[in-house]
Chains A and B, each alone.
Chain A
Amino acid sequence: MPFIIRSLRRIPSPRRLPFPPALALPLAMLAMAIGLRSASEASDLRLWTAGERATVNSPASGDLAAAVRTRAAGLEEALGLATASERQVAVLDDRFHQRQLHEVTYRDSRGRPIALLRLDPAGSLASAVRLGYRESFARGSLDRTEALARAAALAGALGIDLPSGPASARPMMNGALWAVTWGRVADGIPVVGDGVSVRLWRSGDLHSVTVSQRPVARPRVTIPPARARELLDGLLPDVVTGERRSDGTVAAPTLLWVAANDRFRPAGADAPDAVLRLAYVFEMRFAGESAALVRSVTFWIDAETGELIGGDVLR
């Protein structure tokens, strides 16, 4: 509070503003219309709320652009981008994921975007996606074994450090795409949503590569699962209060790294946390009339503090 008061005191009176109030309203409306934000607001990645743009894109400075181009050049052959006509480098403030990335947009000779490559500030590949669907992509015959082999070869060519353990390949987009995934495991525990994914069309053409290794906050101590269940049981009467609560059955928990969210706190943040926490994930499956509305709900109990740190819904 004292800080706020000090800050307010520094605001000059309207008479001393550098431009007159007559300009303020139209300029503000114009700024809103074209999506401008003040530098401080744009840099505060945690301030994102639903309904706003999730990213803020700005051109990279000369030196940064040159460094990003050099790093990207080392990946382009494996991604089939060596012959692109144009490379445009930008700094991307990803406000949903609370991270900053360097983004290269590749264009063909007609100026059409053909790929997007994103590097983290250290120069590691975060994602690469080939743009421009062609009808022939879905008509190929790439099978699971070939998809696994090609994905591994591509990851190797890109110098990606693959998580240990086997990859899984599953069809997506109604069979048009193979998603080959090496799931990340940290301290022996699966990390939801992290790992390396290579997506290949049935034709064998590349759709995208994603490398995700978000930071984790390791707990100093971990409560046992029985204690987590006790805590959940204590919370449930407040969290699930409807008359149909008896339709739900809670299963044994799974220990997972999760991005905490404010699902059960409407006044909380709209985006999930950027730093992952270890949690006991309890799934409540619904039967009876409730199953016609929602399939299941998960409750995430922090493995260190025992707090409810979020959850998910299968509607």
Chain B
Amino acid sequence: MAWGPIRWRWGPTRWRYLPTALAILAMYCAAGPSSALAGYQGSVYSNWTAFNPCLGIVDSYPEKMRKQALAAFAGLGFASASFTKDTFTKAKFLSRTPADWAVYVHSHGDFYNNRPGFRADGGACSGSVVSSVDIATKRPSTQQTNLVVMSTCHLGENVARNDMPLVYGIEKLKAGINGWRGPEFYLGYVGTVWDSDQWEFEAILWDRLLGGSNVGNAFDVALATGNYAASFDTDWWGSYTYLGRPGPYSSCSKCL
């Protein structure tokens, strides 16, 4: 075959669809998550080591929840990365904290010295505690965050000592369908919660968000359509009508 300029013709050749293919590719690229390109950082953390090598229990859920949250953050448009085992250290978490617009943590949560926190993985059995005090040293409480999901026990409790939402710049207030506190949403669980319930709740929540629901609708549907243990409890703060997409404060309640 001689080299030369490609001659497009509408004959029966295998290349006759190339212009169409290129056009489709161009559309795909144009429709991609432009906000992710803009670099709104999303960080997903899941504690695997504490449950697998340390207790010796082969537990598949930390990995499933990491994958699910990572896909959700990416699908919503955050520039996402996930960390587990020896990459989910306290130092790594805090090094990313200043630039985080979305954060997901699946681990053991509690109040440590009367402040909310969770265990980092670190690939060690005695994972360091990351508390709200640590986070507060890395970002002012006026710095905005879009989406925070604490997939742990206790960190959705509305008690004075739970300042985890506050250190992410999210007040423990709810703006309803006719209100707006900016593009922000904090989700946590109340009391001790079974892992399977968190898994099911989050699978529904992420699915609704990726389907275009706002965070409030997604939360309500997840609460109403799962098969949870009688003790299951969760709560949220932020803006009900926020769509879960990355971006800075906007007065437009339907833009992000």
Contacts and interface: CB of A to CB of B under 8 A. Distances in A.
Q: Are A and B genuine complex partners?
A: yes
Interface of A: 19-23, 25-27, 29-30, 33, 35, 50-55, 57, 96-97, 112-113, 116, 118, 126-135, 137-138, 168, 170, 172-176, 181, 183, 192-194, 199, 207-210, 212, 214, 239-245, 248, 259, 261-266, 268, 270-272, 286, 289-290, 292-295, 297, 312-315
B196 A312 contact: yes
B48 to A, nearest CB: 11
Contacts of B220: 129-131, 133, 207-208
Given A22-B18, A295-B192, A265 B60 contact: yes
A154 B27 CA distance: 50
A133 B58 contact: no
Contacts of B206: 54
18 contacts: A25-B21, A52-B71, A53-B211, A133-B174, A133-B177, A134-B176, A135-B176, A174-B157, A209-B224, A242-B125, A264-B58, A266-B58, A293-B51, A294-B108, A312-B196, A314-B153, A315-B152, A315-B195
A315 B207 contact: no
B131 to A, nearest CB: 14
B177 A132 contact: yes
B24 A241 contact: no
Contacts of A30: 24, 27-28
A264 B221 CA distance: 29
B212 to A, nearest CB: 10
Given A134-B178, A266-B58, A294-B108, 4 more contacts: A29-B25, A55-B211, A312-B194, A315-B153
A22 B15 contact: yes
Nearest to B192: A314
Nearest to A128: B224
Contacts of B200: 96, 272
Contact of B61 (A245, A248, A263): A263
Nearest to A194: B227
Given A22-B17, A174-B157, A53 B56 contact: no
Contacts of A133: 174, 176-177, 216, 220, 240
Nearest to A131: B217
B126 A259 contact: no
Q: Is the interface of A mostly helix, strand, loop or mixed?
A: mixed
A264 B59 contact: yes
Question: Which of the four size classes fits the interface of chain B?
Answer: 35 or more
A117 B86 CA distance: 44
A26 B64 contact: no
Nearest to A118: B225
Contacts of A239: 56-58
A33 B55 contact: no
B211 A22 contact: no
Interface stretch (B3-11, B89-97, B228-236): B228-236
B68 interface: yes
Given A33-B31, A51-B71, A133-B220, A192 B229 contact: yes
Nearest to B223: A208
B207 A50 contact: no
Contact of A127 (B18, B50, B156, B225): B225
B204 A54 contact: yes
B54 interface: yes
Nearest to A209: B224
B140 interface: no
A263 B203 contact: no
Contacts of A96: 200, 203-204, 207
A175 B200 CA distance: 22
Contact of B229 (A19, A116, A172, A193): A193
